[in-house]
Amino acid sequence: MAGSITFYGTSAAIPSVNRGFACIGLSDENAGLVLLDCGDGALRNLMRYGANINSISEILITHYHSDHVTGITQVIETMGIRKRKFDLQIFGPPGLKEYFATIQKITSVASKREFKVELTEVEPRQVIRFSGYSASTFKMEHSLPCLGYRVTCPDGKIVAYTGDTMLCEALKSLGEEADLFVHEATYLHKDLELAKPPKHSTVLQASIAAKAAKAKKLMLTHVSDENETPELMLKEAKTEFQDVRIASDGLASEI
């Protein structure tokens, strides 16, 4: 399937038996598998939902909270065990090289691997190119420095991904007329005061952002099963934006 997206992990930082931590895959019949985030335990869901681990060509990290990044170690270990030969590219905010160097020193992750892990630190307002894709980076507003990625796929479709963020001005440019706007929605709007300290978004705010950006479709992710139900989320979102779905682990669709 050309131009497809698969949600391997859709949970917020609160653990859930139904959802794994953040991990989204973009695939194209003429390119490898690109991961947006790779949270703790992502490897199991990647395998569960049919991903070829050695086909992962790039990983784009939004920020360094464990539910978005610590699954990288297990992915690289598995690539080493499976005798991967070609290099892996990882992009992320400043601190990526220090983060991986620390892991390498402590754990000797895949020390006998036959491929290189190429680390590229990126700032907001940069454009990166890889495997037929390109991505523009945007500064999100979260409790840690966080990048949003606006990805142009090989077939020209645009996927915008927020990572974690509160409502902010950059969301309009990030999601502008995107074919799919993947937006975090950790809380319902009734819990807005809970969303403010960690700088997360409510469902209503995500739908407002998609409407302002004139995105074609909205997908809500980073879902807290403890605080939300799909019925209430959809009801809240559709007060501002109609073409909306709630991501779940294993959901795959064309972009």
Residue of 38, 155, 124, 21 lying closest to 89 (CA atoms): 38
Cα atoms found within 13 Å of the Cα of residue 41, Cβ hemisphere only:
13
What pLDDT was estimated at residue 171? Answer: 98
Supply the DSSP symbol for 202.
B
Does residue 141 have a pLDDT over 90?
Answer: yes
Does residue 1 have a pLDDT over 60?
Answer: no
Residue of 52, 102, 99 lying closest to 75 (CA atoms): 52
Please tell me the distance from the alpha carbon of residue 91 to that of residue 95, in angstroms, as a whole number: 11
Going by pLDDT thresholds of 50, 70 and 90, the confidence category of residue 15 is confident
Domain count, the chain: 1
- Domain span at residue 170 reads 4-254
Strand order across the beta sheet in which 244-246 lies: 127-130, 133-139, 147-152, 158-161, 180-184, 218-221, 244-246
- State the pairing for strand pair 4-9/23-27: antiparallel
Q: Which tokens in the block code for residue 134?
A: 């390109």
pLDDT tens digit sequence for 145-183: 999 999 999 999 999 999 999 999 999 999 999 999 999
Going by pLDDT thresholds of 50, 70 and 90, the confidence category of residue 227 is low
Longest dimension (CA), the chain: 54
Enzyme catalytic residues = 67
Q: Model pTM?
A: 0.96
The CATH number of whichever domain residue 138 belongs to comes to 3.60.15.10
Residue of 64, 71, 121, 112 lying closest to 92 (CA atoms): 121
pLDDT tens digit sequence for 78-113: 999 999 999 999 999 999 999 999 999 999 988 889
Q: Give the other-Cβ count within 10 Å of 112's Cβ.
A: 7
Q: What is the DSSP string of 57-68?
A: EEEE----SHHH
pLDDT tens digit sequence for 126-139: 999 999 999 999 99
